[in-house]
Structures are given as structure tokens and as C-alpha cells.
Structure 1
Amino acid sequence: MLEIRNLSKRFGGLVATNNVSITVDAGSISALIGPNGAGKTTIFAQISGFHRPDSGDIRFEGQSLLGLLPERICLLGIARTFQIVQPFAGLNVRENIAVGAHLHRASRRAALEHADAIAHRVGLGAQLDKPAAALTVAGRKRLELAKALATDPKLLLLDEVMAGLNPAEIDEIIPIIRGIRQSGVTILLIEHVMRAVMNLSDHAWVLNNGTLIASGTPSQIASNPKVIEAYLGHGAAARMQEQAGGARHA
């Protein structure tokens, strides 16, 4: 579905992404992980049209995305969330989600009806009339997810959608993300919550200093010496291996 080939991007003297190549299969949940500053969000920005690569290509369902504006890329079926959630504070939850729904629905009534349906999918059904500014961190994260989902994406890019959540909130959002995949949406996520990566991902790529250093299943990643040294550390790697064992026996 998504093919990234030899993607490179510089900001002055900083190499944000260096010759990165990944392929995301339709129907999968894949993870892009690595230390802060590794270049993960820069890749999302290039996929979604906010930054143009210096070299390389990004192809979605066979079509190159280079030079396309973000709104055109969204129309093709790619939606993303952002690390720093910024809802339309003057609108309620329903109206926030309807903004995304209007991408394919001209009528306000149709957009609001779709917003209601999406809100129930992400667990916000009881808060549709609540001002977005009054939501908790967990609520804002779900709203960010709902706004992207309302555009009817084929590919959903989730940028740290679990950051700032407590363990119980993470446990609640994992099945929501799994359900989105089951509805036919392909997911590529950036995440530091390794428990979620292990539970959700079919495949993972690891970036460090803008360079791809490893690729494989989450359990393969957890045992890779380069990944342990650059990112996980031995304790986190051991916990990931335990979680992989638990997932296999679940």
C-alpha cells in the first residue's frame, strides 16, 4: 500500500532522515519506533505532504505523493494525528469530528451524523456535546484519533496517540486501534509505549539519528543488539520479550 524508497531530508546541517526505505502492507498495523529526535515524525510529515523530501520517493497505492499538498494526500486516503493535540477549543466534540467528516460530505447533517458514529467507535459517544477544551488528556487523544478517522482514511498515521496516558487508559485504547484495523484501515504508528507496540504491531522499523537500524517483528526487534544499545536498553528489551511471549499465548 505504502512504499517509501530512499527517503532523505535535511534541515540545514541536520540530517532528519537518511536514505530510509519501508513498505507498509495493506491491512497491517506497523510501528515506527526509536529515540526522540530519530526522524520518525519527519517521515510522517513527508508522507502527509507537510515536508517535501530532498530525495527519494513516497508511493501510495502506486501513485507518487511527491509535490502533492496535504489536503490532496488526505483526499487520496491518508490521515494523520499529531503529537501535540490541538482541538478546536471553541467547538464541542461532535463539531470537532465533523470538521474531518466534511472532507467527503458536503451536507452539515451528514457530517454531524458521521461524527456521531466515529465518536462512538473511539469511546467518545457520551461526550459529543462536551466542549473540546474541557476534555481530559485521554479524551483529547481520542478526539485527535476521531478527527483523523472521520476523513475515511485507507491509511492512518498515528503519532504517539498513547503518549501521556496511564496504563489503564492505554489498555482501553489498544482494542480501539485494533478495531480500526479490523474495519479495513491500515495503520502505521509512532509509539514509545512498547507494550502497545508488542500487542498491536505485525512489523516494526527502528530509526536512530535519521537512519533505519533494524526491521522485523516486535520480538525480533526486542532481541536486536543494535536496537538494545541505541534505544531499548536491556531492561526494556527483556520486558518486550516477556510481552511477546504473553501475546503468543493469549
Structure 2
Amino acid sequence: MLKAHNLTKRFFGLVAVDNASIDVPEGSITGLIGPNGAGKTTLFAMIAGFSPPNEGRVVFQGDDITTEKPHLRARRGLARTFQIVQPFAGLNVRDNIAVGAYLHTKDPTEAKRRATEVAEKVGLGRELDKLASGLTIAGRKRLELARALATRPKLLLLDEVLAGLNPSEIRDVLPIIRKIREEGVTILMIEHIMQAVMNLCDSVYVLSQGKMIASGEPKVVCTDPAVIEAYLGHGAAARMQAEGAAHA
């Protein structure tokens, strides 16, 4: 469904993403992981159209969309959430979600009907008339997800949708993400919480210092020495292997 080929992004000489490629099959949940500052959100921004790449191509459903504006990509069915959630604080939950629905309708009644439908899917059905400013962190994360879903995406880019949630809240959100996939939406997600990555993702890509250093099934990738060192520092893989041998 999505193929990002050799994407590179430079900021005044700093290479934030360096020749990174990613392939997201239709119907999958694909993870993008890596240490803080690895370039994950920058890669998302290039895929979603918010930041043009210096090099490389973005292909969505067979069409080259590298130079398309974000709103045109949204009309194609590519939506994203943002790591820092910024709802319209003065609007209620229903109207916040309806903003996304207006992408495909000019009818306020239809937009609000769609908003209500989406709110139920993400567990905000009882919060529809509440001001967005009154939501908890978990509620705001669900609202961000709902606003993206209201655009009727084919591919959903989730940028740390679980960040800031406690373990109980994370457990509540995982089934929602699975259900979204079951309803036909392909998902590419940035996530630091490995419990979620292991439980949700069919495959995982690992970005470190702007370069893609590994990809594959989560359980295989997480034992890759290069991935361990990217997270824990040089020599960590060897130390872990030595400790394992010592306890064997």
C-alpha cells in the first residue's frame, strides 16, 4: 500500500533521515521504532506531506505522491495523528471529531453523525458533549485518534498514540487499534512501548540516527544486536550475551 523509497531529509547540514526505506503492506500493522531523536517523526512528516524530502520518493497505492500537499494525501486516504495532541479546546468532543469528517462532506448533520459513530469506536461515546479541554490525557489521545478516523483513512499513521498512558489505559487502547485494522484500515505506527509493538505489529522497522538498521518480525528484531546497541549503547549486546551465558 505504501512504499517510501530512500527518503532523506536534511536540516541545515544535519541529516535527520538518511536514505530510509519502508514498505507497508495493505491490511498490516507495521511498527516504526528507534531511540529518541532517531528521525521517526521526521520520516512520518515526509510520508504525510508535511515536510518534503530532499531525496527519495513516497508511493501510495501505486501513485507517486512525493510532491503532493497533505490535504491531497488525506483525500486519497492517508491520515496521521500527532505526538503532541492539540484539540480545539473550546469545542466539544463531537465538533472536534466532525472537523475530520468535513473532508468528505459539507453537510453538518452528516459530519456530526460520522463523529458520533467514530466516538463510539474509540470509547468516547459518553464524552461527546464534553469540552475537549476537560478530557484526560487518555481522552485526548482517543480524540486525536478519532479525528484521524473521521477522515475515512485507508492508511493511518499513528505517532506515539500510547505515549503518556498508564498500563491500564494502554491495555484498553490496544483492542481499539486491532479493531481499526479489522475494519480495513492499514496502520503504520511509531511506538516506544515494546509491549504494544510485540502485541500489535506484524513487522517492525528500526530507525537509528536517521538510518534504517533493521526490519522484520518484532520478536526477531528485538533480539538483533544492532537494535540492542541502538537503544542501550555500544557493547550492550555483548554484555547481555555474556550475562546470559553466565546464568545458563
Amino-acid identity (%): 61
Q: Distance between the aligned counterparts of 1:112 and 1:135, measured in 2? A: 19
Match of 1:159 in 2: 159
Match of 1:48 in 2: 48
Aligned length: 236
Shift of 1:105: 1.3
Paired residue type of 1:217 = E
Q: Distance between the aligned counterparts of 2:72 and 2:107, measured in 1? A: 20
Match of 1:145 in 2: 145
Q: Does 1:17 align with 2:38?
A: no
Paired residue type of 2:81 = T
Q: Which moved more, 1:139-148 or 1:58-67?
A: 58-67
Moved over 3 A (4+): 232-235
Match of 1:125 in 2: 125
Match of 1:219 in 2: 219
Match of 2:246 in 1: none
Q: Secondary structure at the match of 2:145?
A: helix
**For 1:132-211, what aligned pairs fall within 5 Å after superposition?**
132-211=132-211
Q: Distance between the aligned counterparts of 1:199 and 1:43, measured in 2? A: 23
Q: Distance between the aligned counterparts of 2:102 and 2:131, measured in 1? A: 19
Shift of 1:13: 1.8
Residues 55-105 of structure 1: per-residue CA shift (max 9 Å, x gap): 110000011111111100100100000000000011000000000001011
Match of 1:241 in 2: none
Match of 1:86 in 2: 86
Q: Distance between the aligned counterparts of 1:227 and 1:58, measured in 2? A: 25
Residues 162-187 of structure 1: per-residue CA shift (max 9 Å, x gap): 00000000000000000000000000
Paired residue type of 1:31 = G
Shift of 1:204: 0.2
Q: Does 1:114 align with 2:101?
A: no
TM norm structure 1: 0.93
Paired residue type of 1:92 = N
Q: Distance between the aligned counterparts of 2:213 and 2:66, measured in 1? A: 25
Shift of 1:222: 1.2
Shift of 1:231: 1.4
Shift of 1:232: 5.5
Q: Secondary structure at the match of 2:73?
A: helix
TM norm structure 2: 0.93
Q: Secondary structure at the match of 1:213?
A: strand
Q: Distance between the aligned counterparts of 2:39 and 2:222, measured in 1? A: 20
Q: Does 1:73 align with 2:77?
A: no
Match of 1:8 in 2: 8
Match of 2:33 in 1: 33
Which residues of structure 2 form unaligned runs of 5+? Answer: 241-248
For the aligned residue pairs, the C-alpha RMSD in angstroms reads: 1.2
